[in-house]
Amino acid sequence: MHRPAFTPRPLLLALLSVFAGNAAAADTATVLNPVVVTGSRAEAASFDLPYSIDVVDSRTIGEGKLGVNASEALAGVPGLVIQNRNNYAQDLQISSRGFGTRAAFGVRGIKLITDGIPASTPDGQG
C-alpha cells in the first residue's frame, strides 16, 4: 500500500495569503466625522438655572488621589453616586439623582463615553 507523502506547501501558501490579507486590513485608518459641541454663552447664575452644574477642575481631581478611575474624581459631586467595586472585571456603577439606581428589573446605571470610547457600561458589568 502506497501512501503519498504529506506536502505542507499548499497549506503554507493558504495560511500566508490569509495573514497577508489581515495585515493589509490593519493598515487602513478609520476616518470619523467631526463632532461640534456648542453651548450657551449667556451669563446666568447657576442657582437660577433649571439644571445643576458642578465643576471639577484638574487640581481637585489630582489632590491626594491615585487617579485610577472616575469614582475618585467625581466623589464630591452632589447628586452623583459612584460605586467602585474595586474589581476591574466590573465597571463603576454610576447613578445621578436617583437615575440609574436599583430597579425591579435589575441594576441600571449611566454609561460614560469619552472621545467615543465607552468609559463604563450602563449596568456596571464591564
Name residue 99's amino acid: F
The pTM of the whole model exceeds 0.75: no
Which one, of 91, 90, 60, lies nearest residue 73 by Cα?
60
CA distance 118 to 126: 10
What pLDDT, on a 0 to 100 scale, did the predictor assign at position 110?
72
Tens-digit pLDDT string for the chain (126 aa)? 566 665 666 666 666 666 666 555 556 778 888 877 776 667 888 788 887 777 778 787 777 677 777 777 777 888 887 777 676 666 667 777 777 665 545 556 677 677 777 766 665 554
